[in-house]
Amino acid sequence: MKRKQLKVLGLSYSQSQIGSYIVVLSEKKGNRKLPIIIKPSEAQQIAVKMEDIKPSRPLTHDLFKSLSDAFNIDIQEVYIHSLAEGIFYAKMIASNGIEETEIECTIGDAIAISLTYKCPIWVKQEIINSAGIVMNDDGSSVTDATEEETEDDGLYEEPSKKTSVEDLEHLMENAISNEEYEIAAEIRDRIQKMKEGQV
């Protein structure tokens, strides 16, 4: 079974599906991108990790990690294994050091978990072949795209911070409407630093 390793490239507010966000995954070795529509709550978790925002209380995925750490369970990787009718299906591969278990999850949770655990994201080759878009990381077109079939070394790569002020403002409004005032305050502070050019 051939598969490719992905990294989180960016997150933005969806103009076509109001109230949703698009997270863009990119091949670590290659020029194909995989745009995925996710829910606002998942986008919020991903943005907090991408922008290295430190909430005063743990978010859901941080709580999940604390619990798994207490029982010596580690998430080894997340794997996007299926695509049906525009919906991506993913699973986490968890290990206690003796045995591995596969746990189904939403694609948004899978991405947030990979950022929380700093573990790799893999995608089935067929999925990136059928749903991938060829372009450079900056959005420009690729003239000579080459395909690498070898698997990556599996090392985790920190995502570059690619969330715009406008996208963070949408996430802040969403946090306020859900009465998540601490997260909204953290996002507000991040927006202020971005506007002042401190990040």
pLDDT tens digits, 50-71? 888 888 888 888 999 999 999 9
The pLDDT of residue 149:
39
DSSP state of 137: T
Q: Which of 44, 46, 38 is closest to 20 using CA atoms?
A: 38
Phi-psi region for residue 198, left (φ > 0), alpha (ψ -120 to 50) or beta? alpha
The predicted model gives 187-193 an average pLDDT of 77
Residue 157: how many other CB atoms lie within 10 Å: 12
pTM attached to this predicted model: 0.74
Q: Which of 178, 195, 136 is closest to 45 using CA atoms?
A: 178
When comparing pLDDT for 40 and 103, which is higher? 103
Asked if the model's pLDDT at residue 171 lies above 90, the reply is no
Q: Token digits for 96? A: 């206690």
Contact at 8 Å (CB) between 166 and 13?
yes
pLDDT digits (tens, 9 = 90+) for 126-156: 999 999 888 776 666 555 444 443 344 444 4
Q: Token digits for 36? A: 């995925």
